[in-house]
Structure 1
Amino acid sequence: MRLLIVVDMQKDFVDGTLGTAEAQAIVPAVCEKIQKFDGAIIVTQDTHQANYLGTQEGSILPVTHCVQNTPGWELDAKVYAAVKSRGDAAIRSVMKPTFGSVELGEYLVDKGHDADIEEIVLVGLCTDICVISNALLIKAFLPEVKVTVDAACCAGVTPESHKNALRAMRMCQVNIENWEG
């Protein structure tokens, strides 16, 4: 079994309060990956509450974003359409209040008991925060499962931090595809 994890492809990270040109540029590649992927899909959503600025993260990054049930919290419209085109049976959604999702790791361990997971592929935003956090978390929960990050379907806060995250993941035995680095 193969799984595709689409990390935080939400409006606030694509073209909202924390959006970047690099994030907008990967949307077509992410949509194509979703549509052509042979396996189940898990979508994560960075999920904050109205008190975000009063949290530790909010004190370090004082930009309100991904507040649950706001337009910025929703998936990018094109990504949402690509996910919906796959049908509900193949999709699971995970809301995560922080960078890495323990719920995701626990779900994958449980899923691994039902079927052999041969590979988990991650795409999305931001390479240097949530993608790397979840890739390494998955390696900790499932050390013998091949974890792959598709660099062409990820973007970081900056192009340089994107590259640094890819290098760090490679050093931690995460397979990096579509990157010369």
Structure 2
Amino acid sequence: MANLLVVVDYQNDFVSGALGFGAAQALEGPIAARVEQALAGDWRVIFTRDTHGPDYLNTREGRFLPVPHCLRGSGGWHLYGSLAAYEASSDPRVAFVDKPTFGSAGLAGAAEALCGGEPGRIELCGVVTNICVVSNAILLHSRFLNSEIAVLQNLCAAADPADHENALRLLAGMGYLLP
């Protein structure tokens, strides 16, 4: 049973672009180190990419969060900093899931395909803790009832530290490990 690291939406627009914030910038080195460690330990890694089209502002999410961001193919859509190198990687243990909203309905299927079945352990990190990280953790738990799921609290961030802490309390209340 393979283990899986999911890096949620660590893209330019969430770090230094349209929705960027300082706490996200501080995560680059630690997330990159965790990805390297995971791959050295023969884990699998999925990067999710928030992915929108020109009609974004006309979607339910766009009306809720009316800031155009992560438009497919734009500079803001790509992974941030040193993690961008993985977009050109041919490593079969690395995959990408482009998602049109907070949580990805296709993430669990991609995880199963990449891991050859249900992952033994799933770790999540990235941004934004109280929106996309929470959404994807719940979706993964709904599919993989026997996987150990951990949200790496020190490798996640939200623009408002209170939102980050509230999300972690919510996740703890649902039984997620928070190392």
Q: So what's the TM-score if we normalise by structure 1?
A: 0.90
State how many pairs are aligned.
175
**TM-superposed deviation, 1:98:** 0.7
In structure 1, how many angstroms separate the alpha carbons of the residues matched to 2:149 and 2:13? 26
C-alpha distance after superposition, 1:124-168 (max 9, x if no partner): 010110000000111111111100111111101311100111110
**How far apart are the structure 1 equivalents of 2:14 and 2:113?**
30
Deviations 1:89-133 (A, max 9, x none): 211110000111110123334566x34521001110101100000
Alignment map for 1:76-95 (pairs within 5 Å): 76-81=80-85, 83=86, 88-95=91-98
Structure 1 stretches of 4+ moved >6 Å: none
Counterpart in the other structure of 2:137: 135
Tell me which of 81, 85, 103 is aligned to 2:106.
Answer: 103
Distance change >3 Å, CA 91–CA 51, structure 1 → 2:
same
Q: CA RMSD in A?
A: 1.7
Change (3 A) 1:63 1:84: closer
Q: Percent identity?
A: 36
After TM superposition, the score normalised by the length of structure 2 is: 0.91
* Contiguous gaps of at least 5 residues in structure 2: none
**8 Å CA contact 1:128, 1:157 repeated in 2:** no
Gaps of 5+ in 1: none
> Quick check: 2:4–2:111 contact (8 Å CA) kept in 1?
no
Structure-to-structure mapping, 1:2-151, within 5 angstroms? 2-37=3-38, 38=41, 39-81=43-85, 83=86, 88-109=91-112, 114-115=116-117, 117-151=119-153
Report the Cα distance in structure 2 between the residues aligned to 1:52 and 1:69, rounded to whole angstroms.
Answer: 14
SS of corresponding position for 1:102: coil
- Native 8 Å contact 1:35 1:85 kept in 2: no
